[in-house]
Amino acid sequence: MNIFSRLESIVGPKNVSIEQADLEKFGLDRTNIYCSNPRVIVFPTSIDQVQEVIFLANELEIPIVPSGGRTGLSGGAVASKSEIVLSMNKMNSILDVNLNDCTVTVEAGATTQEVQEVATKNGLFYPVNFASVGSSQIGGNVATNAGGVNVIKYGMTRDWVLGITAVTGSGELLELNKSLIKNNTGYDFRHLFIGSEGTLGIICKVTLKLTEPPPPSSVFILGVSKFKDLLEVLKIFQSKLSLQAFEFFSDHALEKVIEAHGYPKPFETHASFYALIDFDNQDNTSQDDALKLYSECADKKLVLDGVMSESIAQSQNMWKLREDISETLWHYQPYKNDLSVRISKMPKFLDEVGSFIKKSYPNFEVIWYGHIGDGNLHLNILKPAALNKSEFKSLCDDISMNLGQLVESFDGSISAEHGVGILKKDYLKFSKSSGEISLMAEVKKVFDPKGILNPGKLL
């Protein structure tokens, strides 16, 4: 029996595909620089089936690429070497909402948005949020420890995971942490699986903590002439308000979004950088505080102009200026960097990166945006029309080597929230010591002795 028939006998004929359209689609994530070339796509519908597929892959020694919503930006879900893609699309049920425990238990293929919606329907809140929540899946969120726009207040996905059911690379079923809050019984493998990028096991089921819904919020957008002023503004706004987000974007990012969508400018004054501040506005009292804080910033000559939302619709429109950046830039085939340093080091880091690129690659257009509140800078380099994809990628790889060294000298990270995948693998050494990387490889061998799961990713 060939592999196709063997898979069919495990998951049923409707759940295996070698259709060309599926092979093209399921071998790629949102990185636009790799080629899709999987052998077959399999859609298990139960944990038993996941286990059987893993046993088969071990027997035949054929690698598996775990696949969620494929919204990743580092190539973690790319299948270009004749692998089996194991898609969680058909394991997407909401299994349980527990109002006493304030938890939701879902199969890994449930989308982030479905989790958010079920929480809201039950009077609760799942706070991890980013632009691609409609298609990204919880399993992928956990496997990459997804961040997003509310990390300053709520933390990363890691902070919301209470339990994980996963099948390791050798086919062992693990029930990690049993969704307990207190459980001091030695190594917590749950945290090893969070951010493991599909290299240790297939995450099948997740129990997430929920919280109370946030109070209504308002949004302020303000402009500054120097990036370092944003940090002063952050300090001032943080001193009096409870912030849900403190995001930033450059004038170039704003121009691209306005050009693509025809949105109005937040205000006429030109600024080099903009902050989008989302703050709790319980009982409408915080808006007055925000205006006072804005005046304080203006008196200190930190801000050039600003505007505050007066309705939910206005807040939503203001958010679009930030949230639509990623999608807008897609047309320019950007090379994406996702760097982090301590908040206090951001201005110097941004200056040094900016001057390096300007000096060494004067024709490259760079777009900055990101999450100031948590030290995360997205640097997108747009592909010049004159370069083909591979010429551009190879120049960007050189830039990444230089950026990696700079990141290392700032004690930062080469991947703040997008993961390592294939795109950042060569630069891992700038954020982790060789000792750590060797231990990571040893850990992988324990969970996946035959190296079946997502080989070539992360490590």
Q: Which residues bind ligand MLT (CB under 6 A)?
A: 130-131, 325-326, 336, 378
**Which residue lies nearest ligand MLT, judged by its C-beta?**
326
Helix (H, G, I), strand (E, B) or coil at 403: helix
Of the pair 70, 378, the CB lying nearest ligand MLT is at: 378
Of the pair 130, 154, the CB lying nearest ligand MLT is at: 130
Of the pair 146, 233, the CB lying nearest ligand MLT is at: 146
Q: Compute the least distance from the CB of residue 216 to ligand MLT, in Å.
A: 23
Q: Compute the least distance from the CB of residue 74 to ligand MLT, in Å.
A: 11
Report CA torsion sign: 238, 240, 242, 244: negative
Query: Distance (Å, rounded) from C-alpha 26 to C-alpha 29?
Result: 8
> Does residue 246 contact residue 235 with C-beta atoms inside 8 Å?
no
What amino acid occupies position 94?
I
Residue ranges of alpha helices (H) inside 160-244 are 189-193, 227-240
Of the pair 52, 338, the CB lying nearest ligand MLT is at: 338
Q: Compute the least distance from the CB of residue 263 to ligand MLT, in Å.
A: 16
Which residues, including other chains, have CB under 8 Å from residue 405's CB and lie 6 or more apart?
430
Residue carrying the six token digits 């948005």: 113
> Does residue 108 contact residue 203 with C-beta atoms inside 8 Å?
yes
Q: How far is CA 275 from CA 224, 237, 238, in A?
A: 8, 11, 13
For residue 131, count other CB atoms closer than 10 A to its CB: 17
Q: Compute the least distance from the CB of residue 311 to ligand MLT, in Å.
A: 24
Q: Compute the least distance from the CB of residue 326 to ligand MLT, in Å.
A: 3
Of the pair 85, 377, the CB lying nearest ligand MLT is at: 377
Of the pair 202, 257, the CB lying nearest ligand MLT is at: 257
Of the pair 49, 132, the CB lying nearest ligand MLT is at: 132
What amino acid occupies position 279?
F
Q: Compute the least distance from the CB of residue 243 to ligand MLT, in Å.
A: 16
DSSP summary character for residue 422: T
Q: Compute the least distance from the CB of residue 424 to ligand MLT, in Å.
A: 13
Query: Distance (Å, rounded) from C-alpha 452 to C-alpha 170?
Result: 8
